[in-house]
Structure 1
Amino acid sequence: MLLSLVALLATAAAAVARPADQTVFGVPAPPSPPHRRPSVELSSSRHDSHGSTFSPLLPPAIPLAVKSPYLNAWLSAGGDDGSKGYLAGSWARHWPVHYAGSQRDHRLSWAGLIRIDDEVFEFLGAPLSGALSFLGSDKVAQQTAFTYTATRSIFTFEAAGVEFNATFLSPVTPNDVVRQSLPFSYLVVDVNRHALENRTVSVYTDISGEWATGDSSIDITWTYKSEAGIGTHAVSRKKQLVFGEHAEQAEWGHAVYATALRKGVVAGSGSADKLRARFIRHGKLDGTHDVRYRRVDNDQPVFGFSVTLSEQEPAAIFTIGHVRDPYVNYVTPKGQVSLSGAWTTRWPHYVDALSAFQLSASRALLEAARFDATLREDARRVSGDAYAAIVELSTRQAFATFELTTGVGDDWKEDRDEVMAHLKEISSNGDMTTIDVVFPLHPILLYANPTLLAHLLEPLLRYTHSGLYPNRWPVHDLGTYPNATGYNRGDDEPMPVEEGGNMLWMSLAYFQLSGDVKWVEKHYDVLKQWTTFLAEDGLVPAEQLSTDDFAGTLANQTNLAMKAIVGIGAMAELAKGIGRWTDWVHYRAVAEAFATEWTKMAMTESGEGRHAKLSYQDEDSWGILYNLFGDRALNLKLFDQELYEEQAAFYQHKLERYGLPLDHRHRWAKTDWQMFAAASSTTRKGRDGFVDSLVDFLAAGKVDAPFPDLYETPTATFPGREGLDWPIYFIARPVVGGHFALLSLEAADAVNGVDPEERFRA
């Protein structure tokens, strides 16, 4: 299997010349160059001044090890200070965090060197800078290509006449909860084995204590063990702060770095300069381990491996991760309950889980290649290569924002036979399982596996069933990650109509794709309670926040009222689905009556056509009516086709080069809501216009962080805020799951018996 793995990896970056349907060892290859629409400028076939290609485009930041909120390592690429897509010379970073206009350095030192005969080249990070320059080893491997898929980032290099690849794989296995919960990623360095016939090649990689804590001024400890077929470095904060964070990183648990034990593998730890110098001089480590425990920034300790390659074993495979136990702190009527990662139900000790992950690398790559090929094929069918480039870049980011854990039983104790999922609202404020962030995430789950959506709703629904939350509407969030402490006084951020509509919308979406009658019956009374609230307060919302809370409160929001109507209509369908006929008739009648009244109050005429206002009272206003997507995706048919056509036509007047502004008040654009609007379009041209402008934003290269979801349409930069001198940074967030709106619509139409050709005219 290893040779198959290596062959697949070795050909990944060369896929730019391969026909789209060609396979390697029966596995679909990574994408060939896109047959793009002329209006889209993808950069896959272009070389920059240094000679690398970037396929399907050069993103603002490149995912390296992106598997959980606490294993979230990226290579900044865009902006003035980004790497421009080159792996060598720049350090990985825990998703960048910005404060008051300056960027804090969340560096994650991850170094990679390759020794070919007697020459040493840098290919990962910047290990040859500074103190090692005295050795005369300052060579950098030439990067010739970069490509990304949904699960992989593949860099191809040439050094001393030898071609090799560095592949970063964060597996996405949505149909296997336990494997999806594993907090590990791979780095695979492989060399064309024919080059090893007459060349001596060895690979060195290491990580630093920065992976174990966000505070470089504290003491860390570490161990190295050889067991279960692998060698494992485990690095941790000396004083564990369970359920604590510093600079958004976990301050308990262990950062782990491992590889399989075989001939030619040597482990070592010690000062960064000394350990790397040893490899530069000798081509391998000597097995020495430094046990002088100290601060992260005191004579920087690193933890590495050297691997000698051969024709029989031409790849070095490393596993990187962050393991914790327990994972989260969950509120119940009997107090807080600690929940463990779902993977602990199969592998009680992390070394066993790590071993299983490391030794199944071949399987993981084959599965990843199939997942990648399927997603790319589906996305290209829906809206071409530009859309594929968007959803592929979104996949790892979205899946890494939530974690799967054990559940809670009826006795309010941990139940290891149950599953919960918990989301971190990365970068905006760290809230836990925020409903209006789960909401834009949910399209990717509908596409990948709707059961994951049920797992994310479970902690919210259980908290509501507990009776601890006093309000009639859903709680906004459950606390600050990883502490789901709840809001037993009802003092959470007030978004009553927003969250009520979101929960009912997502509940029906899950039910339509799963047919899970028992789930609906279990939660029916709570769902009905929220619907009653929306029937009383949803059509004319009082002044309040919507999910776009950065824009402030507003009374009589038309888009918010539409969400309430969609929510009530969703409840009618849920009632119908389990035979509650009286409720079905009642809520359907309410939703239809509200839709009629909404149309009278919300619509206006302007020189650019008839369209919805931002608020009922403001005739000169407008905004993206992204909640119309609910009527279409859930097949509710509450609003006339005329509304869809009017909105689609109006958007064309407002669409700018880098996207459609959120509303008339600012030039801010939201990537998720644009994709919701795209899925509500009536023509392929209108749909693809949203897709193309979003690709233009990515390709502009003005930002340097994981797929930002809020930006300025004239400049493709982070947005400012009126009256303040600091910008808003929404990066690495879960909401990129909303980019799957078009794919989730296709899935919903299939189960609802809707012909997709009816959705978009030519």
Structure 2
Amino acid sequence: MLQPALRACSTAAQLPLRLDDYPPTDKQYTLGWAGLIRIDDETFEFLGDPLSDDIGTNLIANQTGFEYTATQSIFSFEAHGVAFKVIFLSPVTPHDYVRTSLPLSFLSVEVDTKVLKKHHISVYSDINGGWATGDANADLTWDYTVHARAGIHEISRSRELRFAEIDQQAEWGRAVYATKITHGVVASSGKASTMRSYFVKHGQLDGRQDVNYRSTNDHEPVFAYSVQLSETSPSAVFTIGHMRAPYVNYVTPHGQVDRDGYWTTRFHTSHDAISYWVKDYDHAIVDAIAFDKKLRKDAIAVSGENYAAIVELSTRQAFATFEITVGETKDDVMAFLKEISSNGDMGTVDVIFPLYPILQYTNPHLIKLLLEPIMTYTASGLYPNRWTVHDLGTYPNATGYNDGNDEPMPVEEAGNMLWMILAYWQMSHDTEWVEKYYDILTQWTTYLIEDGLVPAEQLSTDDFAGTLSNQTNLAVKAIVGIGELRRRAELACNTMADLLFARTGAMGQLAKATGRWTQYIHYEGTAKAYVQEWYQLALTAADYKYPHAKLAYQDEWSSGLLYNLFGDRILNLELFDRQLYEWQSAWYHTREEEYGIPLDTRHAWTKSDWEVFTAASATDVKTRDLFIDLLVKYLKAGQVDAAFPE
């Protein structure tokens, strides 16, 4: 599902999903989401665990298949001789900020119309208060309303905790369960076992609404619909979500300011937005299928079926990490990322970093939206350090670090920002935005020149491994960062004589806009000199059977994934010789383990994002496929009971 406030995942490709199988938070807080289907006079469970109570049936639908795309998880079932599908759809709409900013997803149950000529079929589904709070003992309140032909259940804490989370779950706003109101749709709320038993007995709900407000743990209240299927209406489509206002608060020189979801630029109320979403399903599924097909086709063209599988599995998770917000004017648009499955930091630079390639593919302007809060905060002068801030606070509170006491990754984050800004510019040619922050970029580059080639003891993005001095891979990032600003200064030359010194494919628009030839000379000389010094410091002795880069300059027997070489290739900087790439590719084959190449010689673990970055840096298909195939092997082995892990 999409967005930090609406996250749930199945740990297996099989339904019925038990309650502890789809945790929305890192603490795996229990969610309630149930599904029953009644075929003639028999009722079958297909979602959740409604049969844990004595509700008058013990039948479970037989799952016959599963498939997934970038936006859909599709489960096929058979019950009482009837085939049906259960589809979870989380639309990915990179160019539609309104839809992307709506924290809503779909569940549909679909039956072939021919079947409905022979059978009477109805569908039941409910959610519990676990979607509204991370505290199962918190008092709840709820309401049901019909707005523009959309039935809407809304559940919230009786006393909302603004900008607070429990187990990384929002404690303000309202959980939403909605559907389109047509003939045969009935909405009810009440005790879970009572509601489900009534459906088993009658094939529909009675329409009563429970007003005895209480907590999830107190005679578990659920919020349900029953839908009678027909030849003209062969599917039941539900919308699940969590609506909040505002989304986040953000640090400024004038104090913290609230920021709302971008959808508020189009809809006056949340009910307007929900009813739009509910009625938009037919459009959403068509768009999703088109997006899925294009993404899969493009991924296969790059690196085959296994790579396509990785991209498809990653897409929903990638887009579930951030929210698009708006300030006081429609032009004040920023996106905020939340670290998932860690500490909930927001706007973390080295977490945006592995996310950016899919944004570069789907919509590069989303990179700008994610970097804008960091650039604006830095430009405010509130952050005192000369390098880049690590993050902006703990979600949803972007309070910044005016004392400069953020997690220290100075070389890492400065290099990441320069890298991503060039990547954005290469796709957008947004010279005005780059020019706006050019002084800040110069500040970060100056820091990298002074401290990047021989990094002091510090953390890299792989902070779980601890600090280390003279990190070879970190120095590559610094050189890429310097080379990035050198390339932009290089591209600032605006005479024919100057252009003779520029590399092929120079960014002419930025060259005309900035015209910083003197800086180009300085950065080019520095980058070239640093590469040569790096070779002397970073590489093992030439007589090694497999020469390669060390993990740290001082450790001759160490090695690691040199994944930051990816920047040299994707940004077309051409700073490092091809010989280095070939040495690294040959070395990786000697380090192969069952499920991948170790991140470095300190531990046996690795990281999926850096495996793929390293694969993209390979000089031959064999090495590229080594990384991709081992990662897919790991995913197929079922070694983790969570979503696609790092």
Measured against the shorter chain, the TM-score band is over 0.9
Alignment of 1:545-560 (within 5 A): 545-560=459-474
**Do 1:75 and 1:87's aligned partners in 2 also have CA atoms closer than 8 Å?**
no
Q: Which residue of 1 aligns with 2:500?
A: none
Q: Which amino acid aligns with 2:281?
A: A
Encode CA deviations 1:77-117: one digit per residue, 9 max, x unaligned: 2xxxxxx62335555533453xxxxxx54111100000000
1:232 maps to: 152
Measure the CA separation in 1 of the matches of 2:291 and 2:31. Answer: 28
Say if 1:155 and 1:165, in contact at 8 Å, map to a contact too: yes
Unaligned runs of 5+ in 1: 1-65, 78-83, 98-103, 408-413, 710-762
Name the structure 2 match of 1:664: 601
Paired letter, 1:629: F
Partner SS for 1:108: coil
Equivalent residue, structure 1, for 2:504: none
CA–CA separation in structure 1 for the residues paired with 2:574 and 2:639: 41
Cα deviations by residue, 1:439-492 (Å, 9 ceiling, x for unpaired): 111111111110000000000000001000001001110000100000001011
Correspondent of 1:191 among 107, 111, 118? 111
Does the 8 Å contact 1:94/1:107 carry over to 2?
yes
The Cα shift of 1:590 comes to 0.8
Is 1:72 the counterpart of 2:1? The answer is no
Specify the SS of the correspondent of 1:415: coil
Q: CA deviation digits over 1:505-541, x for unaligned, max 9?
A: 0010000011111011111010011001111111111
Cα displacement (A) at 1:139: 0.3
Which residue in the other structure is 1:4 paired with?
none
Given the alignment of the two structures, is residue 677 of structure 1 paired with residue 614 of structure 2, yes or no? Answer: yes
Q: Is residue 6 of structure 2 the alignment partner of residue 113 of structure 1?
A: no
- After TM superposition, give the deviation of residue 582 of structure 1 in Å: 1.6
**In structure 2, which of residues 556, 569, 575 is the aligned counterpart of residue 619 of structure 1?**
556
Matches within 5 A, 1:730-741: none
Q: Which residue of 2 aligns with 1:128?
A: 51
Deviation at 1:608, TM superposition (A): 4.5
Q: How does 1:600-639 map to 2 (within 5 A)?
A: 600-605=536-541, 607-639=544-576
Instruction: Give the deviation of 1:418 after TM superposition.
Output: 2.1
**Range 602-611 or range 309-318, more displaced:** 602-611
Residue 518 of structure 2: aligned partner: 582
Q: Distance in 1 between matches of 2:142 and 2:259?
A: 25
- Where 1:425 maps in the other structure, the secondary structure is coil
Matched, 1:453 2:388: no
Q: Which residue does the alignment assign to 2:635?
A: 698
Residue 584 of structure 1: CA displacement?
1.7
Shift of 1:417: 2.5
Query: Does 1:406 find its partner at 2:329?
Result: no
Matched, 1:648 2:577: no
User: What is the identity percentage for the equivalent residue pairs of Structure 1 and Structure 2?
Assistant: 59
Helix, strand or coil at the partner of 1:612: coil
Give the aligned residue type for 2:645.
P
1:741 corresponds in structure 2 to none
1:158-214 per-residue CA deviation (whole Å, 9 max, x = no partner) reads 111111101000000001111111110000111011010021000000000000000
> 5+ unaligned residues in a row in structure 2: which ranges?
492-509
Identify the residue that residue 22 of structure 2 maps to in structure 1.
93
Given the alignment of the two structures, is residue 357 of structure 1 paired with residue 292 of structure 2, yes or no?
no
User: What does residue 41 of structure 1 align with?
Assistant: none
Q: Which residue in the other structure is 1:167 paired with? A: 87
- Provide the C-alpha distance between the structure 1 equivalents of 2:373 and 2:341, rounded to a whole number of angstroms: 22
* Cα shift at 1:585: 2.0
| Equivalent residue pairs, number | 623
In 2: Cα distance, 1:693 partner to 1:232 partner? 45
Conserved in 2, the CA contact under 8 Å of 1:256 and 1:323? yes
Partner Cα distance (2:366, 2:545) in 1: 42
Helix, strand or coil at the partner of 1:486 = coil
Query: Contact 2:25–2:167 (CA<8 Å) still a contact in 1?
Result: no
* Residue 479 of structure 1: aligned partner: 393
SS at structure 2 position matched to 1:667: coil
What is the CA distance between 1:217 and its match in structure 2?
0.7
Distance 2:585 2:561 in 1: 10
Hey, what does 1:727 align to over in structure 2? none
TM-score between both structures, scaled by the size of structure 1: 0.81
Superposed displacement of residue 581, structure 1:
1.7
C-alpha distance in structure 2 between counterparts of 1:552 and 1:502, whole Å: 19
Residue 441 of structure 2 is aligned to residue 527 of structure 1: yes
Whole-Å Cα distance in 2 between the matches of residues 220 and 253 of structure 1?
A: 12
Partner-residue secondary structure (3-state), 1:573 = helix
The within-5 A match list for 1:120-269 is 120-132=43-55, 135=56, 137-269=57-189
Matched, 1:468 2:382: yes
Aligned partner of 1:569: which letter? G
What is aligned with 2:212?
292
In structure 1, C-alpha distance between the alignment counterparts of 2:417 and 2:613, rounded to whole Å: 17
Q: Deviations over 1:336-390 (max 9, x none)?
A: 0000000111112111111111101001000000000001101111111111111
2:135 aligned counterpart, secondary structure: coil
| CA–CA distance in structure 2, aligned partners of residues 67 and 90 of structure 1 | 19
Q: Distance in 1 between matches of 2:10 and 2:17?
A: 10
CA distance in 1, matches of 2:561, 2:517: 35
Q: Structure 1: how far apart are the matches of 2:546 and 2:572?
A: 26
Contact 2:14 2:75 (C-alpha < 8 Å) held by counterparts = no
Cα 1:570–1:528 shift into 2, 3 Å: same
| C-alpha contact 1:182 1:343 (8 A) present in aligned 2 | yes
Q: Is the 8 A contact 1:91 1:126 kept in 2?
A: no
**Equivalent-residue separation in structure 1 for 2:590 and 2:259 (angstroms):** 51
Does the Cα contact within 8 Å between 1:75 and 1:91 map onto a contact in 2? no
Q: Match for 1:661: what amino acid?
A: P
1:319 corresponds, among 218, 239, 248, to: 239
Q: Contact (CA 8 Å) 2:53, 2:193: kept in 1 or not?
A: no
One-letter code aligned to 2:364: P
The residue type paired with residue 706 of structure 1 is A
| 3-state SS, counterpart of residue 624 of structure 1 | coil
**Structure 1 counterpart of 2:312, from 381, 384, 392:** 392
Partner of 2:339: 425
TM-score (normalizing by structure 2): 0.95
